Structure 1
């Protein structure tokens, strides 16, 4: 079949023109070469494809049957070529991004908002999963790029940092005052308060659990929440003390709606950034996105003040 592809192009052109000399002109080859190609195809199929007449050549019955299939094949090829050209001209592509719900709202959206303006024809699919799951999808090549906390052992994962985030504990003044009235132990907030953390699937939760264990901070009443949004909202209605990311509650802290709980030991800041597999052939859409965020590095975090 492979060796006959050029023969089928000659056959298709001769059938369309009905004339060997016109086919030779279109294909920029000699008439004898056209005739030789037709004979070779007829021999390989063991049929006669054309009959000659005074005006040129005409398809035989077998030739008509073959032409029907060859015509569809060349139409499909032409359609494919047109689609590829359109993709290149418009920058059409598909980008799969993995990200946690928290990072999607607070960090990814500012990037996507500007990227879509300059690349409106790239289709974007977002997998909202925990950071651990996002990293696993990345390693399984099921997503192109992940927005994650910096992994301790990357293992063939390239990581581009966007900056640092800082975990803090917050609540309302009302909650702290009521807690003090109930317990008379304002200095031991974590043991007496309702402590609100993300669920254990979240990398942030694992990070905070390690912090609490390392400093032997006891907690007696724990409320697990699935998203950072809910943690922030629950803390704002005085449901308890929530562990949140400072950059995501700057407004509430500045306006006094929430207050930061002093910690006996600081929580080390963490790097957040985009990650993708090393040594993987990337699509145009992925390359465009990587180039975009590298030029806009720090866009989301720079818009939010970071405490030193």
Structure 2
């Protein structure tokens, strides 16, 4: 590069403002100094970069060509400065998030787009696994953030709530109708808590595996109210539970917020329960000393 970078900065600013006076104000230098720098750049390149008029300046054809390259160069420099600033503010160049596949789909992804837009130079990696594994990886420093339900004992980790979720049991009307016939009953006009207990005990209850916090939460409630289903189908995926419920394989223990559309359009129905299931909190976990708590 034959020219001093400051000459290109002055040229770039004049081109953006279209006015030498305005450029001088932005650069905190005098108008004669701006004019002198432009003449020097034009002389070194042996071409006119601007046409002058009483209303300001306008790029010539050669000026437009130079501006396109100078603009790209300064934008690259600005991006680099922003990335360095981000590293200083966050104390890191990447963010490692641990989350279950269910919470990733229904909670994290809807929020991730705006976050990445606000922090375009932050490298984000997402690790999907069971909550217990996420907690362990956070303790070991292998993750920066974890999106989980509020753990009973967070230890040294800090929990920031994001939303409440409600556990419930859902199935199709056809499944309950067939189950009622098998039990020698007719499908009731209005489901009662007593009906639900009978259906859960005698039907196929579909739950997440025992390593999952949602399963442990439901098990604790059913045990407290001596509800022990005879036939249990287990899976590791909430999405599979919802799909199984939709095709009438059984009664699924799911999160109400994740099947709201199905409940509204009637493709799934919710079983009333004889015992209350308190809402749970979903939120982000991080180590107490983490710089990225400000996120």
Normalised TM-score (structure 2) = 0.65
The residue aligned with 2:83 is: 87
Which residue in the other structure is 2:205 paired with? 195
Residue number in structure 2 paired with 1:168: 168
Q: Quick one: distance in 1 between partners of 2:172 and 2:116?
A: 38
In the other structure, the counterpart of 1:245 is: 255
Which residue of 1 is the match for residue 108 of structure 2? 108
Q: Deviations over 1:271-302 (max 9, x none)?
A: 1100101124x3xxx35xx43xxxxxxxxxxx
Q: CA deviation at 1:184?
A: 2.7
Aligned residue number for residue 257 of structure 1: 267
Displacement of 1:114 in angstroms is 1.0
Cα distance, 1:152 vs. partner? 1.4
Aligned to 2:12: none
Counterparts of 1:89-238 in structure 2 under 5 Å? 93-184=93-184, 187=195, 188-238=198-248
Task: Please say which structure displays the higher CA radius of gyration.
Answer: 1
Q: CA deviation at 1:153?
A: 1.7
Write the distance in 2 (CA, Å) between the matches of 1:241 and 1:142: 37
Task: Render the CA deviation track for 1:155-207: whole Å, top value 9, x for unaligned.
Answer: 11111011211000000000000000111367201111100000111111111
Deviation at 1:89, TM superposition (A): 5.1
- Tell me the residue number matched to 1:304: none
Mapped to 1, the partners of 2:162 and 2:270 lie a distance apart of 24
Instruction: Note the residue ranges of structure 1 that are not aligned, 5 or more in a row.
Output: 1-82, 292-308
Count of aligned positions: 204
Normalised to the residue count of structure 1, the TM-score between the two structures is 0.63
- 1-side partners of 2:242 and 2:285: how far apart? 27
Structure 1 residue 222, shift from structure 2 partner: 0.4
CA distance 1:258–1:211, shift in 2 (3 Å): same
Superposed CA deviations along residues 126-156 of structure 1, whole A, max 9, x for unmatched, are 1101111111111111100000111112211
The root-mean-square deviation of aligned C-alpha atoms, in Å, is 2.1
Q: SS where residue 254 of structure 2 aligns?
A: strand
Q: From the superposition, tell whether residues 89 and 154 of structure 1 become closer, same or farther in structure 2 (CA, over 3 Å).
A: closer
Question: Secondary structure, in 3 states, of the residue corresponding to 1:273?
Answer: strand
SS in 2 for 1:279: coil
Distance 1:164 1:213, change over 3 A: same
CA distance, structure 2, for counterparts of residue 242 and residue 130 of structure 1: 19
Closer/same/farther in 2, CA of residues 203 and 90 from structure 1, 3 Å limit: closer
CA distance in 2, matches of 1:101, 1:190: 26
C-alpha distance after superposition, 1:72-125 (max 9, x if no partner): xxxxxxxxxxx9857315768210000011100000001111111121221111
Whole-angstrom distance in 2 between the partners of 1:182 and 1:250: 29
> Which whole-Å deviations, capped at 9, do the CAs of 1:43-80 have from their partners, x for residues lacking one?
xxxxxxxxxxxxxxxxxxxxxxxxxxxxxxxxxxxxxx
